[in-house]
Structure 1
């Protein structure tokens, strides 16, 4: 069975230097932005247009926005703004990925040398980890995941 290397990273609670150094060291050739909204002023160096430029110049990596791998606005608000609990959010997001059938809309090969990006500093309570776990279950462990 082939294995495909994928990393994940969040941009909060880190400096731009640390963020881009980690991506560069990972060997990622493309960053898959799995945020629903990628243009917020609060994102600083991780706003879509700036990020595309920085990734190309600093890391030699491409940038792709993949909102199909993001939760809905309603899910985000229920979890973040309304202080929802993690198990409920997890179950709702797993159901959403299943409904969207993301495992048929992507292939393991598409994730080779990629890095999934969202805002959370760590993967513990972050949907980027759930995306990797869901796809690994569907694709029989074909993704070799490293959280940066």
Structure 2
């Protein structure tokens, strides 16, 4: 096991398929970890679950896994998105959720090394993928986080 774990994060919105796959390839990503609650919607475009797994393997030889324990619940997501809740409340609720789920026991350092957490938000600032990466770093203390 490496001393430092490299963990990337990426959102697919505001990126073309070409940009998305080239960014992943250039970074040396070995595995996408899908952290979305809903990854089968038509709105997901080229990142729809079955299509994405195929494209990742075919285009860049990147593995794909979907880990629902890293996604927010529908209630937490709806409160923030549909009811226009504030980020601080969302962040507190989500951090409590992943702590309750003990996500650090559901994923291994080996799984996340050279992996990339995927969600839809274009930037990591108001996104749960950043919270997952920071939470795991707090638990394990050896993660180099890079937002693509």
Deviations 1:90-121 (A, max 9, x none): 00000001100111222222211101100000
Inter-partner Cα distance in structure 1 for 2:16 and 2:94: 29
Q: Partners in 1 of 2:61 and 2:78 — Cα distance?
A: 34
SS of the residue corresponding to residue 53 of structure 1 reads helix
String of CA shifts for 1:107-144, please: whole Å, max 9, x gaps.
2222111011000000000000000001101112x111
Residue of structure 2 equivalent to 1:104: 105
Q: Distance in 2 between matches of 1:101 and 1:65?
A: 17
Following the alignment from structure 2 to structure 1, what is the Cα–Cα distance between the partners of residues 145 and 139?
15
User: Superposed, which structure 2 residues align to 1:135-146 within 5 Å?
Assistant: 135-140=136-141, 142-146=142-146
Aligned partners of 1:123, 1:4: CA distance in 2, in Å?
A: 19
TM-score, normalised relative to structure 1: 0.97
Task: State the match for 1:33 in structure 2.
Answer: 34
Matched residues in 2 for 1:10 and 1:105: separation?
A: 22
Q: Scaled by the length of structure 2, what TM-score is found? A: 0.97
**Partners of 1:17 and 1:76 in 2: how far apart?**
29
Counterpart-to-counterpart distance in 2, 1:26 and 1:102: 25
Q: How many residues align?
A: 147
Counterpart in the other structure of 1:44: 45
Q: 1:83 and 2:81 equivalent?
A: no
Does 2:125 match 1:124?
yes
CA–CA distance in structure 2, aligned partners of residues 81 and 129 of structure 1: 21
Q: Distance between the aligned counterparts of 1:36 and 1:47, measured in 2? A: 12
Gaps of 5+ in 1: none
Q: After TM superposition, where is structure 1 displaced by more than 3 Å over at least 4 residues in a row?
A: none
CA distance in 1, matches of 2:51, 2:104: 30
